[in-house]
Amino acid sequence: MVTSMKRNRLGSSELYVGEIGLGCMSLGTEKQKAIALIHEALERGVNFLDTADLYEDGLNEEIVGEAIRTSGRNRDEIIISTKVGNRRIPGQEGWVWDPSKAYILSSVKGSLKRLGVEYIDLYQLHGGTLEDPIEETIEAFEQLKQEGLVREYGISSIRPNVIREYAARSSIVSVMSQYSLLDRRPEETVLPLLEDKGIGLIARGPVAKGILSPNGRVRSEKGYLDYSAEELPALHDELAQLANEGRSLSQLAIRYSLSHPAVAVAIPGASSLEQLLHNIEASEGEPLTTDELALLRSLTRANLYEQHR
């Protein structure tokens, strides 16, 4: 039986996404295990699956596609999000950045084939710089919309200057960006801009690479952004004390990432059933109160972007 979950409108689009989605990058390459996790997520009310052509050289898209086909659900019940822009060149190590119109128009065909679908709900530019041919990039996405191959498009970026350009010049409905209690950089300019423009934020990394989880103390040894390895354990303990019997630290962190009105969906990753269920259970909790938000902000840093402003 499908569990109900609060749905949010993604920006000004007609895409309505469960407030907690599934970041599929962390599912791994064991196909049957990954498919089982996706099926469980769908059973629990998740309807937003995020992947990219870059993940596992396309294997991640294939796994997502197979999971959808074998889920017993209609295609229109699931919002598929994938990304484009990182190009692999045969015989060459790594990848190159290619936001050209020609590459986007050709690359979408590979994603559609691997996913086994006729259209992509949300197609995202997987990065971006001010040096890109932005008008050409926008033309590509607009053409794909007109052709019915994608329903909507957005960008995945942590660069405020790039986000501003697309917010002003394109009809993006979403921006995917890292956002958590330990990475509050979007609060300065990005979230107010998106709220003003009617663009939805897809919050990735809400648990900050697992640091904001009950066992996250051991994950904080390398530090995180402008938090040193020395200060994170004490902060972890302080934040953990605010979690109560009905809400763990990671669930508290996920609820924080959902607290801004511009945020449509948070996409924690999961590599095990226990992680997946724990993340999804955050949707059953009450939104954070004004006092709780104020306390959390007083304990953490209002980090600022130093580059790409």
Catalytic residue numbers, as ranges: 55
**DSSP H or E segment with residue 36:** helix 31-43
Residue 228, CA atoms < 13 Å, CB-side half-sphere:
2
Tally of CB atoms within 10 A around 296? 20
SS3 category, 175: strand
* Dihedral angle over CA of 159, 160, 163, 169, nearest 10: -130
- CA 69 vs CA 27, 39, 82, 132: distances in Å: 17, 10, 17, 36
**DSSP H or E segment with residue 115:** helix 101-115
d(CA 43, CA 46) in angstroms, rounded, equals 7
Tokens 């952004």 belong to residue: 225
SS3 category, 280: helix
